[in-house]
């Protein structure tokens, strides 16, 4: 296919510090064999010179710089809004800890073009340093203990994970999203700072009749949360996670389901002896439910 006949794809890479990871991620995407891709780095409040480095060494890459860390959802939204303004057909969003091969984007777009009802396409995600071992091939809702769990987590790759299929949920560390879907349901809900924003977006995608598709022959290597892996998950982390959990359950689940979910997380941490996490988690839960009563009275299309 000629460049003129290929759908325009904007590749939006979200960076928050870790310049070396950002450079490795960007270099892998720049080697793409797909001939109609534009590149955009969203610098989400980095203090390590990310924006300056990209401008100096990658003049072909566009950059949006935020004065502060907006979180994953709002950071992605900056890039997604920009891509919509440029009349892209697809936006690929990715964290800066993702590495891909030259044919990665071709395979995702090919599947997107085959199925008009697909809204989101997810690759097979393996560990960066152990590409024979899976990190995620999608996610599903588990009734009890209540959770959304990864499919294939820590399993060896194999034939069982090499078949295309529809998904309930997909983690947002790297996704290809059709812009027509964004025009229907809006952007990510910016009220989530991290976690649950991707599951919320997947839920909303399925609500309007679009599917989420797993594309196993497109493979991404994931360094697994570069931004948080060096942290011991502070009290603030637990507070933010509790808040996000409460917002998601208020939006999409019944009150009994919300109670069971919060109770299970509390019981699980107590059983593991993590007593000091509970006050921070519950502080976030209280804040999330209080905010959720007013946050989501309007349409999700205003969530940028």
Structural contact between residues 277 and 284, judged by C-beta atoms closer than 8 angstroms: no
**C-alpha span between 148 and 205 (Å, rounded):** 16
**C-alpha span between 180 and 114 (Å, rounded):** 15
How confident is the model at residue 4, as a pLDDT? 58
191 by DSSP, 3-state: which? coil
Encode 217-248: b = buried (16+ Cβ within 10 Å), e = exposed.
ebbbbbbeebbeeeeeeeeebbbbbbbbbbbb
CA 178 to chain centre: 14
Average pLDDT over residues 123-147: 95
Provide the 10 A C-beta neighbour count for residue 146.
17
Q: Where are the alpha helices (DSSP H) in 209-276?
A: 226-229, 235-252, 255-271
How confident is the model at residue 225, as a pLDDT? 57
Structural contact between residues 89 and 8, judged by C-beta atoms closer than 8 angstroms: yes
Q: What's this model's pTM, rounded to 2 decimal places? A: 0.91
Q: In the chain, where are the structural domains located?
A: 3-229, 235-302
**C-alpha span between 90 and 80 (Å, rounded):** 9
Taken in order 136, 105, 43, 131, the sign of the CA dihedral is positive
Does 200 or 229 have the greater pLDDT score? Answer: 200
Q: ∠208-303-95 over CA atoms, to 5°?
A: 90
Q: How does pLDDT run across 215-234, given as a tens digit for each residue?
A: 999 999 999 854 444 445 78
Q: How does pLDDT run across 24-69, given as a tens digit for each residue?
A: 999 999 999 999 999 999 999 999 999 999 999 999 999 999 999 9
For the cut 70, the answer to whether the pLDDT of residue 86 exceeds it is: yes
Average pLDDT over residues 79-85: 98
For the cut 70, the answer to whether the pLDDT of residue 301 exceeds it is: no
**Terminal Cα-to-Cα distance of the chain (whole angstroms):** 35
**What is the CATH architecture assignment of 3-229?**
Alpha-Beta Complex (3.90)
* pLDDT bucket at 79, cuts 50 / 70 / 90: very high
The tokens describing 228, both together, are 């948080």
Q: What is the average pLDDT score of the chain?
A: 92
How confident is the model at residue 234, as a pLDDT? 82
Residues paired with 8 in a beta bridge: none
How confident is the model at residue 229, as a pLDDT? 43
For the cut 70, the answer to whether the pLDDT of residue 192 exceeds it is: yes
Q: How does pLDDT run across 137-180, given as a tens digit for each residue?
A: 999 999 888 889 999 999 999 999 999 999 999 999 999 999 99
How confident is the model at residue 224, as a pLDDT? 86
Instruction: Please choose, from the candidates 220, 14, 71, the residue with its C-alpha nearest in 3D space to the C-alpha of residue 136.
Output: 220
Which segments within 67-225 are labelled E, that is strand?
A: 90-95, 98-100, 118-127, 134-136, 139-142, 147-150, 165-167, 174-178, 211-222
How confident is the model at residue 226, as a pLDDT? 47
Average pLDDT over residues 179-206: 96
Structural contact between residues 100 and 29, judged by C-beta atoms closer than 8 angstroms: yes
How confident is the model at residue 205, as a pLDDT? 98
Provide the 10 A C-beta neighbour count for residue 211.
15
How confident is the model at residue 295, as a pLDDT? 66
How confident is the model at residue 194, as a pLDDT? 85
Q: What backbone torsions phi and psi does residue 118 show, to the nearest 5 degrees?
A: -80, 130
How confident is the model at residue 296, as a pLDDT? 57
DSSP state at residue 269: H
How confident is the model at residue 297, as a pLDDT? 58
Min mean pLDDT across 121-125, 232-236, 296-300 is at: 296-300
Question: CA distances (Å), 85 to each of 15, 88, 134, 179, 189, in order?
Answer: 21, 8, 36, 10, 19
Q: How does pLDDT run across 235-273, given as a tens digit for each residue?
A: 888 999 999 999 999 999 988 999 999 999 999 999 999
For the cut 50, the answer to whether the pLDDT of residue 304 exceeds it is: no
Does 125 or 231 have the greater pLDDT score? Answer: 125
Token pair 């064999």 is found at 33
Structural contact between residues 34 and 6, judged by C-beta atoms closer than 8 angstroms: yes
């Amino acid at each position: 296919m000629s460049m003129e006949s290929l759908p325009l794809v904007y590749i939006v890479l979200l960076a928050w510090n870790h310049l070396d990871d950002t450079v490795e991620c960007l270099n892998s995407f720049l080697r793409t064999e797909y001939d109609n891709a534009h590149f955009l780095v969203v610098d989400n409040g980095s203090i390590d010179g990310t924006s300056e480095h990209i401008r100096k060494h990658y003049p072909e890459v566009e950059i949006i710089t935020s004065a502060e860390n907006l979180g994953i959802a709002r950071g992605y939204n900056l890039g997604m809004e920009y891509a919509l303004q440029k009349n892209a057909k697809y936006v690929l969003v990715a964290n800066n800890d993702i590495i891909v091969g030259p044919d990665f984007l071709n395979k995702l777009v090919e599947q997107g073009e085959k199925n008009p009802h697909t809204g989101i396409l997810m690759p097979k995600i393996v560990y960066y340093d152990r590409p024979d071992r899976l990190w995620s091939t999608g996610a599903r809702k588990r009734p009890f203990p209540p959770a959304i769990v990864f499919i294939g987590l820590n399993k060896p790759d194999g034939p069982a994970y090499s078949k295309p299929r529809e998904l309930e949920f997909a983690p947002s560390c790297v996704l290809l999203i059709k812009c027509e879907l964004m025009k229907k349901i809006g952007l990510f809900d910016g009220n989530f700072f991290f976690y649950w924003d991707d599951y919320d977006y997947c839920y909303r995608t399925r609500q309007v009749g679009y599917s989420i598709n797993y594309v196993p022959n497109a493979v991404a290597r994931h360094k697994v949360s570069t931004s948080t892996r060096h942290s011991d998950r502070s009290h603030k982390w637990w507070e933010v996670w509790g808040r996000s959990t409460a917002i998601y359950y208020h939006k999409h689940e019944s009150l009994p389901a919300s109670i069971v979910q919060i109770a299970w997380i509390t019981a699980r941490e107590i059983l593991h002896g993590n007593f000091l996490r509970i006050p921070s988690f519950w502080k976030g839960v209280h804040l999330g439910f209080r905010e959720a009563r007013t946050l989501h009275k309007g349409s999700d299309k205003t969530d940028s």
